Structure 1
Amino acid sequence: MNKEKDFGQGSVSANILRLAIPMTLAQLINVLYNVVDRIYIGHIPHTSTQALTGIGLTLPVITIITAFANLFGMGGAPLFSMARGADEPERAERIMGNSFAMLLASGALLAVFCYLFKHPLLYLFGASDVTYPYANAYISIYLLGTLFVMVSLGMNNFINAQGFGVTGMLTVSIGALLNLVLDPLFIFVFHMGVRGAATATILSQCVSCIWVLHFLTGKKAIIKLTRKQLHLNFSLIREISALGLSGFVMSITNSSVQIMCNATLQRYGGDLYVGIMTVINSVREIITMPVMGITSGAQPIMSFNYGAKKYGRVKSAISFTAISCIVFTLVMWAFLFFFPHVFIRMFNSDPKLLKEGVPAMHLYFFGIFMMALQFAGQSTFVALGKSRQAVFFSLFRKVIIVIPLTLWLPTIASLGTDGVFLAEPVSNFIGGTACFVTMLLTVWRTLDKRK
């Protein structure tokens, strides 16, 4: 089994695809957890637009939960892969155990904090008196399943890091398909509305969580999760947190951008435009998840070969990842440009939302292929343990570029809501170029010298 999962042998692209294809499918299926909720809720009779907008207001909270899952899951997995590549199984065990312990602790604290402060948080995120009841009803139930979300998302990285891409895909597939079935049952049959959507989601995440733990403690895992490795080692936690900080910062800054966008759109356009942003965020999730699947599939390959000092294979993995991401996002840009109505109608058929949503989508997704450069550069930094660079470029694109532009562009030449949607493409061009070029000038050159 160890020999079969040796990423230092065989074709680099084949190794990446063996992980990336199931992981891409897993990422797409994972999107269904929340996107399916929005699809069903967006078609509830009479209150669809208000309910959809209310669900959109909970996205920053969900993103923050994902951020902590990334901090300890995506932070621990590359270190875990490097330890495997360097033939240090005991260190790999300790890394996985400490990541799991921190996922549990942070998840519990996060759930309590968000529940206690949900009222001011939701109004800060752009809620109105009309949309708050829907947002409150959804998030109050969703927070009960925070630990399930943290474990299923965070620990699934360690299944993939051992080369079990199909098993990792099944983790999210089982929960997502269950959510697909339970959503209409709770929403329309039991007439629970948004509460039904949240209930279906946490039950589905619970099943995914059980699946992950069963595999990592079972016979098939190469390196198992054991109780004796759950004792916290603060030196290891610092290493895990430092490497996971990039994914954490990216998610936190995404949450900050969502908050700024919703608040600014509420000011210049009202609930309708907050609803449009909910649809756009949902479409963006669908598009970025395959890109994240490719980069996530490449990371264990890069980390393993870097730990094994096979630098030529690391370079091949970087090239394959970047080209694949660029090609995919170019194709998706074409679809979004010519068929925006198809994507919007997935979530809502309100004529007003369709009329204003099409030009908004054209602005927001302009040149989205530049986003691929950010993802490719960022994943390379993370895979090779370059945490400072990864964190910097996460902050650079979102905090230094997007948030100021979101606040400033609407005031220029009466751009209003258009200014909010323009901030994203500008940041993709500047941030994507800066991240990828820096990676080439630093990491790529270093690999050449070591090779």
Structure 2
Amino acid sequence: MGIDYRLFSKEKVEKALLKFAVPAMISLLVMELYNMVDTFFVGLVIGPKAIGALTIAFPVQRLMSSLGMMIAVGASTAVARSLGKKDYDNLKSVILNAINITIVIMVVLTFIISILKKDMITGLLGASQSIYPYAEKYISIVVLGGLFQALTLVICYIMTSLGYTNITLKATSVGAILNVIIDYFLVMHLNFGVAGAAIATVVSQTVALVYAIYKLNKVKKKIGLNLKLNFELKLDILKPILAVGFSTFIIEISDAVVAVILNNILSIYGGDKALIIVGVTTKISMFLFITVIGISSAMQPIAAFNYGAKDLVRVKEVVVKTIVAVTGATLILWAVMLIFANPIIGLFLKDTSLLGETVKAFRIIISLFPTIGIYYVSIYYYQSMGKARTSLILSVYRQMIIFIPLLFILVGKFNIMGAWIAYPISDLISAITGVIYVRVALKEKDKAIEAQEYEKERKEKAFKGRSVKVGGL
């Protein structure tokens, strides 16, 4: 099979990480940009209520992209391990099952959201009467593109695990650029409002999928992968895909869960103004999350491949160098955002009083963010090893176990300020937990490496012993 294994097994770790991290970050950025670009244009044309509406819509979009990410990450990890073992039959089955289950899940979800959207927007998501019409119109259209976005993610992540990292970069870039162009014309010039922003998102997601499918067909021929697309769902294939990917789903969907809870709490304590503040700060801080998750997840195919190939020394090297890379990159971006918070947030808000409050909240929210890189590395490490339970526990830890209880406690004591303070406290606690888990993982790898070296020496001595006996005959 025409796959270049050197990227996984021989390439310098720093270079390999960069090749996987860039497309991962761009694909994550594109997922966020769809809502962010829409927010930017409708904010300029319609105003704060439209920003509030897209803040309400964010959990719905995050739910759909999270399911796509779950299957994409689970499938790409399984593909990488199959490559390491040179098990090509399993590799083909993983690809087929991943694509098929994506279609099934997303079609069902789209149907459910379309039926229940009114109760969901006003009840679960916390939209006020003034924001509801905008939110309903946007969600009704944008939900139709969920399947296309999810399939694009799955196909691109699989091709990344096959070593074709540039395809992900190109497919996601096509969607992002097209979304900006269509948004500009529909919202700014044709006055389509939030409906125009939603149409732009769906059209660009569709075009990105068409490009990804076209490239997948070319890759199949190039590497000699005899993959016939037919409908099959095998539990023994799907179970590890969904189990490993579920922790990624939790990481992604926890933001949506937190957003729902925040929206409801802040609408009580601060009204629409608080919703607008959290909407803007969340969107801008996503650039930090994209950096952390993009670099952390970049280690996944490399570590999974080498784990499958039993090269534990390289697995350990990948973990250590990923921690260094993610911490360094996050520190740089964090410093830039702290220094230039005012002009960055000013792109979204023109109201000076609202701008000042948002900048203050933003600086508090991200104050300890650089510490959490190691926490996410620990999650993706255990995913790459196929340890679904450990990665799942870590995935729910920061947002569900730490942040949400802190949110209720601190908002009760400090009002809206308590919501902002809850972020850095949960970041610090998660970072400490990540350090503990990574230390345990590295110690386990050291023991496994020692066992490998001992076994290698034992076999070499046994071979030399047999050679001496043969020579003495």
Q: Is the 8 A contact 1:372 1:432 kept in 2?
A: yes
Q: Is the 8 A contact 1:254 1:398 kept in 2?
A: yes
Name the CA distance, whole Å, in 1 between partners of 2:226 and 2:203: 23
Name the CA distance, whole Å, in 2 between partners of 1:168 and 1:20: 11
Amino acid at match of 2:172: V
Equivalent residue, structure 1, for 2:328: 327
Which of 333-342 and 219-228 deviates more?
Answer: 219-228
Question: 1:236-275 maps to which residues of 2 (within 5 A)?
Answer: 236-275=237-276
Q: Is the 8 A contact 2:291 2:330 kept in 1?
A: no
Amino acid at match of 1:446: E
Equivalent residue, structure 2, for 1:98: 97
Amino acid at match of 1:69: G
Instruction: Kindly provide the CA deviation profile for residues 260-290 of structure 1, in whole angstroms up to 9, marking residues without a partner as x.
Output: 1111111111101101111111112222112
1:217 alignment partner, SS class: helix
Instruction: Kindly provide the CA deviation profile for residues 68-116 of structure 1, in whole angstroms up to 9, marking residues without a partner as x.
Output: 1122111111011000011011101101111111100000011111111
Amino acid at match of 2:387: K
Name the CA distance, whole Å, in 2 between partners of 1:256 and 1:187: 29
Q: Is the 8 A contact 2:31 2:65 kept in 1?
A: no
Which of 293-302 and 384-393 deviates more?
Answer: 293-302
CA drift at 1:335: 2.2
Amino acid at match of 2:96: G
Q: Is the 8 A contact 1:39 1:348 kept in 2?
A: no
Q: Is the 8 A contact 1:30 1:173 kept in 2?
A: no
CA drift at 1:331: 1.9
Aligned residues: 446
Instruction: Kindly provide the CA deviation profile for residues 159-213 of structure 1, in whole angstroms up to 9, marking residues without a partner as x.
Output: 1111111111001000110111110111122210010000001000001111111
Which of 84-93 and 280-289 deviates more?
Answer: 280-289
TM-score scaled by length of structure 2: 0.91
Q: Is the 8 A contact 2:296 2:373 kept in 1?
A: no
Amino acid at match of 1:381: Y
1:325 alignment partner, SS class: helix
Question: 1:141-220 maps to which residues of 2 (within 5 A)?
Answer: 141-219=141-219
Instruction: Kindly provide the CA deviation profile for residues 110-145 of structure 1, in whole angstroms up to 9, marking residues without a partner as x.
Output: 111111111121222221001111111111000111
Name the CA distance, whole Å, in 1 between partners of 2:88 and 2:178: 35
Amino acid at match of 2:194: V
RMSD: 1.6
Q: Is the 8 A contact 1:243 1:385 kept in 2?
A: yes
CA drift at 1:225: 8.1
Percent identity, aligned pairs only, is: 27
Name the CA distance, whole Å, in 2 between partners of 1:329 and 1:134: 35
Name the CA distance, whole Å, in 2 between partners of 1:195 and 1:187: 8
Equivalent residue, structure 2, for 1:9: 10
Question: 1:280-429 maps to which residues of 2 (within 5 A)?
Answer: 280-412=281-413, 415-429=414-428
Give unpaired runs (5+ residues) of structure 2.
Answer: 450-473
Equivalent residue, structure 2, for 1:111: 110
2:9 alignment partner, SS class: coil
Question: 1:3-82 maps to which residues of 2 (within 5 A)?
Answer: 3=4, 6-44=7-45, 47-82=46-81
Amino acid at match of 1:153: L
Amino acid at match of 2:73: M
Cα distance change on mapping 1:437 and 1:134 into 2, 3 Å: same
Query: Greater helix share, 1 or 2?
Result: 2
Instruction: Kindly provide the CA deviation profile for residues 16-50 of structure 1, in whole angstroms up to 9, marking residues without a partner as x.
Output: 21222343344334432221111111211xx3111
Q: Is the 8 A contact 1:397 1:431 kept in 2?
A: yes
TM-score scaled by length of structure 1: 0.95
Q: Is the 8 A contact 1:292 1:375 kept in 2?
A: yes
2:163 alignment partner, SS class: coil
Equivalent residue, structure 1, for 2:453: none
Name the CA distance, whole Å, in 2 between partners of 1:142 and 1:68: 16
Amino acid at match of 1:82: R
CA drift at 1:221: 5.4
Equivalent residue, structure 1, for 2:129: 129
Equivalent residue, structure 1, for 2:463: none
Name the CA distance, whole Å, in 2 between partners of 1:64 and 1:266: 21
Name the CA distance, whole Å, in 2 between partners of 1:148 and 1:391: 26
Q: Which has the larger radius of gyration?
A: 2
Cα distance change on mapping 1:422 and 1:223 into 2, 3 Å: farther
Cα distance change on mapping 1:366 and 1:6 into 2, 3 Å: closer
Name the CA distance, whole Å, in 2 between partners of 1:224 and 1:230: 18
Name the CA distance, whole Å, in 1 between partners of 2:222 and 2:70: 23
1:10 alignment partner, SS class: coil
Q: Is the 8 A contact 2:41 2:188 kept in 1?
A: no
